[in-house]
Structure 1
Amino acid sequence: MPICQSCGKNWTWKQTFKTIFRLKCPHCGEKQYESASSRIRSGIFVIIPLIVLLPLNAWLDFSIGMALILAIVFVIIMFGFYPLILKLANEEEPYW
């Protein structure tokens, strides 16, 4: 779970999910940024389902509706796990 870099308090899964798009600490109110390593991990976390879903779709010849349902399921799973892989920083970090 993320730890605020300003006050050092752990965020719960629910607090993280509520602030997922603005990343403001629920304890001290300071703006936080996603760390570079966390952005890389979350990018990989998004690419892996695509790598799995696209060939699976071509191989099993899913209908558009079935592919859409699988994509929605993958998005829900990714949003559910995102608070677990999020790491915070006080400043916006470059990728390298």
Structure 2
Amino acid sequence: MPICQNCGNKWTWKQTIKTIFKLRCPHCGQKQYESTSSRIRSGIFGLLPVMLLPVNAWLDFSVGMVLTMAVMLVLIILGFYPFILKLSNGEEPYW
């Protein structure tokens, strides 16, 4: 779970999901930023739905089946996102 770099409080899963787009600490109210390592890891998770395209071509799934799998995969990724999120006080460069 993410820990606020300003006040040091650990966010719960629910608090993290609620602040996923603004990343403002629910305890102290300070703006937090996603760390570089966390952005890289979340980028790798973002590639998983794209990997459904070759699987669809190989196994010849129907469009409905692929959409169902994509929605389930996105929900799983969002569910695990709070566990991979690391915070920083300022924006960090990618490298």
After TM superposition, is the score higher than 0.5? yes
Unmatched segments (≥5 aa) in structure 2:
none
1:48 and 1:62 mapped to 2: Cα distance? 17
Residue number in structure 1 paired with 2:91: 92
By percentage of residues, which structure has more helix?
1
Count of aligned pairs: 95
Q: CA deviation at 1:49?
A: 4.2
Residue number in structure 1 paired with 2:64: 65
Q: CA deviation at 1:25?
A: 0.1
Q: Normalising by the residue count of structure 2, what TM-score does the alignment of the two structures yield?
A: 0.95
Q: Normalising by the residue count of structure 1, what TM-score does the alignment of the two structures yield?
A: 0.94
Moved beyond 3 Å, runs of 4+: none
2:48 and 2:70 mapped to 1: Cα distance? 12
What is the 5 A alignment of 1:15-94?
Answer: 15-51=15-51, 53-94=52-93
1:85 and 1:19 mapped to 2: Cα distance? 15
Q: Output the amino acid matched with 1:94.
A: P
Unmatched segments (≥5 aa) in structure 1:
none
Q: Output the amino acid matched with 1:87.
A: K
Q: What secondary structure, in the 3-state scheme, does the structure 2 residue paired with 1:42 have?
A: helix
Name the % identity: 72
CA RMSD, Structure 1 to Structure 2 (Å): 0.9
Q: Output the amino acid matched with 2:14.
A: K
Q: CA deviation at 1:63?
A: 1.1
Q: What secondary structure, in the 3-state scheme, does the structure 1 residue paired with 2:47 have?
A: helix
